[in-house]
Amino acid sequence: MSVVQHGALIEGATMLNPVLDTDIAAESVSDILKTITIPPCPAVVAALQEESCQSEVDFHKIIRLISGDLGLAASMIKTANSPFFALRTKVQGVSQATAVLGLRNVINIANGLVLQRALSPKGVSMERFWDRSNYHAMISARLARRVPGLNREDAYTFGLFHDCGIPILMQRFPAYKETLAHANRSSKPVLESENACHGTDHVVVGAMLARNWQLPEFLVRAIRFHHQFEILNDAAPTIPENVRTLTAISLLADHMIACYLQVQDEVEWFAHGASAMNYLRIDGEELDDLRGDIEEALRAAEADRV
Protein backbone atom coordinates (compact mmCIF):
# COMPACT_ATOMS: atom_id res chain seq x y z
CA MET A 1 0.00 0.00 0.00
CA SER A 2 1.23 3.54 -0.65
CA VAL A 3 1.22 6.82 1.21
CA VAL A 4 -2.14 8.37 2.07
CA GLN A 5 -3.40 10.60 -0.71
CA HIS A 6 -4.95 13.95 0.22
CA GLY A 7 -5.90 12.96 3.75
CA ALA A 8 -4.73 12.88 7.32
CA LEU A 9 -5.64 11.50 10.70
CA ILE A 10 -7.80 13.46 13.07
CA GLU A 11 -5.95 12.87 16.31
CA GLY A 12 -7.88 11.33 19.14
CA ALA A 13 -10.38 9.65 16.84
CA THR A 14 -12.67 8.66 19.70
CA MET A 15 -12.84 12.19 21.05
CA LEU A 16 -15.14 14.87 19.68
CA ASN A 17 -13.24 17.68 18.03
CA PRO A 18 -15.29 20.87 18.54
CA VAL A 19 -13.38 22.74 15.82
CA LEU A 20 -15.26 21.46 12.81
CA ASP A 21 -13.81 24.15 10.56
CA THR A 22 -10.45 22.40 10.72
CA ASP A 23 -9.74 20.77 7.36
CA ILE A 24 -9.08 17.05 7.64
CA ALA A 25 -6.37 17.39 5.00
CA ALA A 26 -4.55 19.99 7.14
CA GLU A 27 -4.40 17.93 10.32
CA SER A 28 -1.49 15.84 11.58
CA VAL A 29 -0.70 12.58 9.80
CA SER A 30 -0.41 9.37 11.80
CA ASP A 31 2.55 7.15 10.94
CA ILE A 32 0.28 4.17 10.59
CA LEU A 33 -1.95 5.90 8.05
CA LYS A 34 1.02 6.54 5.79
CA THR A 35 0.65 2.96 4.64
CA ILE A 36 -3.05 3.26 3.71
CA THR A 37 -4.10 4.14 0.20
CA ILE A 38 -7.21 6.24 -0.23
CA PRO A 39 -8.50 5.21 -3.68
CA PRO A 40 -8.72 8.10 -6.11
CA CYS A 41 -12.12 9.00 -7.49
CA PRO A 42 -12.49 6.84 -10.61
CA ALA A 43 -12.54 8.66 -13.91
CA VAL A 44 -16.13 7.89 -14.86
CA VAL A 45 -17.51 9.18 -11.56
CA ALA A 46 -15.23 12.23 -11.64
CA ALA A 47 -16.47 13.02 -15.15
CA LEU A 48 -20.10 12.58 -14.12
CA GLN A 49 -19.62 14.81 -11.08
CA GLU A 50 -17.87 17.47 -13.13
CA GLU A 51 -20.64 17.54 -15.70
CA SER A 52 -23.35 17.60 -13.02
CA CYS A 53 -21.85 20.82 -11.61
CA GLN A 54 -22.11 22.69 -14.91
CA SER A 55 -24.64 25.51 -15.16
CA GLU A 56 -26.13 23.72 -18.18
CA VAL A 57 -25.76 19.97 -17.86
CA ASP A 58 -25.12 18.10 -21.10
CA PHE A 59 -27.30 15.01 -20.67
CA HIS A 60 -26.02 13.58 -23.94
CA LYS A 61 -22.55 13.53 -22.38
CA ILE A 62 -23.96 11.95 -19.21
CA ILE A 63 -25.55 9.20 -21.29
CA ARG A 64 -22.32 8.63 -23.25
CA LEU A 65 -20.30 8.31 -20.03
CA ILE A 66 -22.74 5.79 -18.55
CA SER A 67 -23.07 3.83 -21.79
CA GLY A 68 -19.30 3.45 -21.93
CA ASP A 69 -19.31 1.35 -18.75
CA LEU A 70 -21.27 -1.88 -19.16
CA GLY A 71 -21.72 -2.50 -15.43
CA LEU A 72 -22.79 1.08 -14.81
CA ALA A 73 -25.26 1.05 -17.71
CA ALA A 74 -26.79 -2.21 -16.49
CA SER A 75 -27.15 -0.84 -12.94
CA MET A 76 -28.93 2.28 -14.21
CA ILE A 77 -31.45 0.27 -16.23
CA LYS A 78 -32.02 -2.22 -13.41
CA THR A 79 -32.58 0.53 -10.84
CA ALA A 80 -34.99 2.44 -13.08
CA ASN A 81 -36.99 -0.80 -13.53
CA SER A 82 -37.05 -1.57 -9.81
CA PRO A 83 -40.24 -1.46 -7.69
CA PHE A 84 -39.02 1.79 -6.15
CA PHE A 85 -39.99 3.70 -9.32
CA ALA A 86 -43.04 1.53 -10.13
CA LEU A 87 -42.96 2.13 -13.87
CA ARG A 88 -45.79 0.73 -15.98
CA THR A 89 -43.47 0.20 -18.93
CA LYS A 90 -39.92 -1.01 -18.34
CA VAL A 91 -37.07 1.10 -19.69
CA GLN A 92 -34.89 -0.51 -22.34
CA GLY A 93 -31.80 1.70 -22.47
CA VAL A 94 -29.54 4.17 -20.69
CA SER A 95 -31.26 7.23 -22.14
CA GLN A 96 -34.66 6.19 -20.77
CA ALA A 97 -33.15 5.12 -17.43
CA THR A 98 -31.40 8.47 -16.99
CA ALA A 99 -34.64 10.34 -17.66
CA VAL A 100 -36.47 8.25 -15.06
CA LEU A 101 -33.77 8.42 -12.39
CA GLY A 102 -32.75 12.07 -12.59
CA LEU A 103 -29.22 13.43 -12.33
CA ARG A 104 -28.75 13.06 -8.56
CA ASN A 105 -29.81 9.41 -8.57
CA VAL A 106 -27.53 8.74 -11.53
CA ILE A 107 -24.56 10.12 -9.57
CA ASN A 108 -25.52 8.08 -6.49
CA ILE A 109 -25.75 4.82 -8.41
CA ALA A 110 -22.43 5.51 -10.13
CA ASN A 111 -20.81 6.25 -6.77
CA GLY A 112 -22.15 3.04 -5.26
CA LEU A 113 -21.00 0.77 -8.06
CA VAL A 114 -17.54 2.29 -8.40
CA LEU A 115 -17.11 2.38 -4.60
CA GLN A 116 -17.77 -1.35 -4.48
CA ARG A 117 -15.28 -2.01 -7.28
CA ALA A 118 -12.57 0.13 -5.70
CA LEU A 119 -12.83 -1.09 -2.13
CA SER A 120 -13.47 -4.84 -2.28
CA PRO A 121 -10.33 -6.56 -0.92
CA LYS A 122 -8.99 -9.40 -3.06
CA GLY A 123 -9.84 -12.84 -1.73
CA VAL A 124 -12.32 -11.50 0.84
CA SER A 125 -16.07 -11.86 0.45
CA MET A 126 -17.65 -8.43 0.94
CA GLU A 127 -21.15 -9.26 -0.29
CA ARG A 128 -22.66 -8.94 3.18
CA PHE A 129 -20.99 -5.57 3.74
CA TRP A 130 -22.21 -4.12 0.45
CA ASP A 131 -25.71 -5.46 1.05
CA ARG A 132 -25.82 -3.65 4.38
CA SER A 133 -24.42 -0.48 2.81
CA ASN A 134 -27.16 -0.56 0.20
CA TYR A 135 -29.80 -1.19 2.87
CA HIS A 136 -28.42 1.72 4.88
CA ALA A 137 -28.55 4.01 1.85
CA MET A 138 -32.15 3.07 1.03
CA ILE A 139 -33.32 3.45 4.63
CA SER A 140 -31.49 6.76 5.10
CA ALA A 141 -33.19 8.15 1.99
CA ARG A 142 -36.62 7.04 3.23
CA LEU A 143 -36.07 8.50 6.71
CA ALA A 144 -34.95 11.77 5.13
CA ARG A 145 -38.48 12.21 3.76
CA ARG A 146 -39.68 13.22 7.21
CA VAL A 147 -36.84 15.68 7.94
CA PRO A 148 -37.32 19.20 6.51
CA GLY A 149 -34.31 20.53 4.70
CA LEU A 150 -32.55 17.19 4.26
CA ASN A 151 -32.27 16.04 0.67
CA ARG A 152 -33.10 12.37 0.07
CA GLU A 153 -30.28 11.96 -2.43
CA ASP A 154 -27.77 13.37 0.08
CA ALA A 155 -29.05 10.95 2.72
CA TYR A 156 -28.68 8.09 0.23
CA THR A 157 -25.07 9.08 -0.51
CA PHE A 158 -24.32 9.26 3.21
CA GLY A 159 -25.77 5.80 3.77
CA LEU A 160 -23.70 4.39 0.95
CA PHE A 161 -20.42 5.92 2.14
CA HIS A 162 -20.85 6.03 5.92
CA ASP A 163 -18.80 2.87 6.59
CA CYS A 164 -16.53 3.04 3.53
CA GLY A 165 -13.46 3.12 5.78
CA ILE A 166 -14.08 -0.52 6.77
CA PRO A 167 -12.99 -2.20 3.51
CA ILE A 168 -9.95 0.12 3.33
CA LEU A 169 -8.81 -0.94 6.79
CA MET A 170 -9.61 -4.56 5.93
CA GLN A 171 -7.15 -4.30 3.05
CA ARG A 172 -4.49 -2.70 5.24
CA PHE A 173 -4.74 -4.84 8.38
CA PRO A 174 -5.05 -8.65 8.08
CA ALA A 175 -6.51 -8.86 11.60
CA TYR A 176 -9.08 -6.09 11.10
CA LYS A 177 -11.94 -8.52 10.52
CA GLU A 178 -11.23 -10.07 13.92
CA THR A 179 -11.20 -6.56 15.43
CA LEU A 180 -14.71 -5.96 14.12
CA ALA A 181 -15.90 -9.32 15.42
CA HIS A 182 -14.47 -8.49 18.85
CA ALA A 183 -16.06 -5.03 18.78
CA ASN A 184 -19.47 -6.57 18.02
CA ARG A 185 -19.17 -8.71 21.16
CA SER A 186 -17.83 -5.91 23.33
CA SER A 187 -19.64 -3.27 25.34
CA LYS A 188 -17.03 -0.73 24.26
CA PRO A 189 -17.64 1.62 21.31
CA VAL A 190 -16.40 0.21 18.00
CA LEU A 191 -14.09 3.20 17.46
CA GLU A 192 -12.36 2.48 20.75
CA SER A 193 -11.68 -1.12 19.72
CA GLU A 194 -10.40 -0.04 16.31
CA ASN A 195 -8.02 2.55 17.74
CA ALA A 196 -6.73 0.18 20.41
CA CYS A 197 -5.80 -2.43 17.79
CA HIS A 198 -4.84 -0.37 14.76
CA GLY A 199 -4.22 3.22 15.81
CA THR A 200 -7.03 4.59 13.67
CA ASP A 201 -10.69 3.91 12.91
CA HIS A 202 -13.05 3.58 9.98
CA VAL A 203 -14.72 6.98 10.38
CA VAL A 204 -11.43 8.87 10.01
CA VAL A 205 -10.41 6.84 6.97
CA GLY A 206 -13.93 7.03 5.55
CA ALA A 207 -13.99 10.82 5.87
CA MET A 208 -10.65 10.98 4.10
CA LEU A 209 -12.00 8.92 1.21
CA ALA A 210 -15.16 11.04 1.03
CA ARG A 211 -13.02 14.17 0.88
CA ASN A 212 -10.83 12.60 -1.79
CA TRP A 213 -13.90 11.66 -3.81
CA GLN A 214 -15.15 15.25 -3.59
CA LEU A 215 -18.34 14.58 -1.63
CA PRO A 216 -20.02 17.69 -0.15
CA GLU A 217 -18.32 18.89 3.01
CA PHE A 218 -21.28 18.23 5.30
CA LEU A 219 -21.31 14.58 4.15
CA VAL A 220 -17.59 14.31 4.90
CA ARG A 221 -18.31 15.56 8.41
CA ALA A 222 -21.32 13.30 8.84
CA ILE A 223 -19.18 10.28 7.97
CA ARG A 224 -16.52 11.51 10.41
CA PHE A 225 -18.91 12.01 13.34
CA HIS A 226 -21.67 9.45 12.84
CA HIS A 227 -20.56 7.30 15.80
CA GLN A 228 -20.26 10.25 18.21
CA PHE A 229 -23.80 10.31 19.52
CA GLU A 230 -23.14 12.92 22.19
CA ILE A 231 -23.66 15.50 19.46
CA LEU A 232 -27.39 14.66 19.55
CA ASN A 233 -27.66 16.02 23.09
CA ASP A 234 -25.66 19.19 22.55
CA ALA A 235 -27.81 22.01 23.91
CA ALA A 236 -25.65 24.63 22.19
CA PRO A 237 -24.77 22.71 19.04
CA THR A 238 -21.27 23.11 17.66
CA ILE A 239 -22.10 20.59 14.94
CA PRO A 240 -24.18 21.56 11.87
CA GLU A 241 -27.76 20.38 12.09
CA ASN A 242 -27.60 18.29 8.93
CA VAL A 243 -24.60 16.38 10.34
CA ARG A 244 -26.47 15.72 13.60
CA THR A 245 -29.57 14.64 11.67
CA LEU A 246 -27.61 12.14 9.59
CA THR A 247 -26.00 10.78 12.76
CA ALA A 248 -29.46 10.10 14.22
CA ILE A 249 -30.72 8.64 10.95
CA SER A 250 -27.67 6.38 10.76
CA LEU A 251 -28.41 4.83 14.13
CA LEU A 252 -32.06 4.24 13.25
CA ALA A 253 -31.02 2.71 9.94
CA ASP A 254 -28.67 0.29 11.73
CA HIS A 255 -31.51 -0.68 14.07
CA MET A 256 -33.91 -1.30 11.19
CA ILE A 257 -31.33 -3.38 9.32
CA ALA A 258 -30.84 -5.50 12.45
CA CYS A 259 -34.59 -6.02 12.69
CA TYR A 260 -34.86 -6.91 9.00
CA LEU A 261 -31.99 -9.40 9.19
CA GLN A 262 -33.26 -10.69 12.55
CA VAL A 263 -29.93 -10.14 14.28
CA GLN A 264 -29.19 -8.49 17.60
CA ASP A 265 -28.92 -4.71 17.75
CA GLU A 266 -25.48 -3.31 18.32
CA VAL A 267 -24.62 -1.86 21.72
CA GLU A 268 -24.90 1.69 20.34
CA TRP A 269 -28.65 1.30 19.78
CA PHE A 270 -29.26 0.38 23.42
CA ALA A 271 -27.06 3.26 24.59
CA HIS A 272 -28.18 6.01 22.22
CA GLY A 273 -31.31 4.86 20.37
CA ALA A 274 -33.58 6.98 22.57
CA SER A 275 -31.48 10.07 21.88
CA ALA A 276 -31.68 9.47 18.13
CA MET A 277 -35.46 9.03 18.29
CA ASN A 278 -35.84 12.16 20.40
CA TYR A 279 -33.70 14.16 18.01
CA LEU A 280 -35.81 13.07 15.04
CA ARG A 281 -39.03 13.40 17.09
CA ILE A 282 -40.04 9.80 16.51
CA ASP A 283 -41.95 7.90 19.20
CA GLY A 284 -42.19 4.14 19.65
CA GLU A 285 -45.42 3.76 17.71
CA GLU A 286 -44.11 5.75 14.77
CA LEU A 287 -40.88 3.75 14.83
CA ASP A 288 -42.87 0.54 14.51
CA ASP A 289 -44.78 1.95 11.53
CA LEU A 290 -41.59 3.14 9.85
CA ARG A 291 -39.93 -0.20 10.47
CA GLY A 292 -42.83 -2.06 8.85
CA ASP A 293 -42.81 0.18 5.78
CA ILE A 294 -39.04 -0.04 5.38
CA GLU A 295 -38.91 -3.81 5.82
CA GLU A 296 -41.55 -4.14 3.09
CA ALA A 297 -39.46 -1.94 0.80
CA LEU A 298 -36.33 -3.98 1.51
CA ARG A 299 -38.15 -7.24 0.76
CA ALA A 300 -39.31 -5.78 -2.55
CA ALA A 301 -35.75 -4.74 -3.38
CA GLU A 302 -34.46 -8.20 -2.50
CA ALA A 303 -37.09 -9.86 -4.68
CA ASP A 304 -36.10 -7.63 -7.56
CA ARG A 305 -32.49 -8.76 -7.29
CA VAL A 306 -33.32 -12.44 -7.67
DSSP 89-132: S---SHHHHHHHH-HHHHHHHHHHHHHHHHH--TTS--HHHHHH
pTM for the model? 0.78
pLDDT score at 206: 93
pLDDT score at 18: 34
**Is the pLDDT score of 22 beyond 60?**
no
Q: Is residue 118 part of a domain?
A: no
Which CATH number goes with the domain that contains 258?
A: 1.10.3210.10
pLDDT score at 35: 64
Residue type, 67: S
Inter-helix orientation angle 267-280/241-261, to 10°: 130
Q: Is residue 102 part of a domain?
A: no
Q: Is residue 180 part of a domain?
A: yes
Q: Is residue 177 part of a domain?
A: yes
| Count of structural domains, the chain | 1
Quick check: 195 and 13 in contact, CB under 8 A? Answer: yes
Q: Is residue 190 part of a domain?
A: yes
| pLDDT one-digit tens code per residue, 36-95 | 777 878 888 888 888 888 889 898 888 888 888 877 888 888 888 877 777 778 888 888
**Is the pLDDT score of 10 beyond 70?**
no
Q: Is residue 211 part of a domain?
A: yes
| pLDDT, mean over the chain | 82
| pLDDT one-digit tens code per residue, 148-187 | 888 888 898 899 999 999 999 988 888 998 998 888 787 8
Q: Is residue 142 part of a domain?
A: yes
DSSP state of 27: S
Quick check: 305 and 130 in contact, CB under 8 A? Answer: no
| pLDDT one-digit tens code per residue, 88-105 | 788 888 888 888 888 888
Q: Is residue 134 part of a domain?
A: yes
| pLDDT one-digit tens code per residue, 125-137 | 788 888 899 899 8
Domain that holds residue 296: 126-306
pLDDT: which is higher, 255 or 213: 255
- Mean pLDDT, range 289-295, rounded to an integer: 91
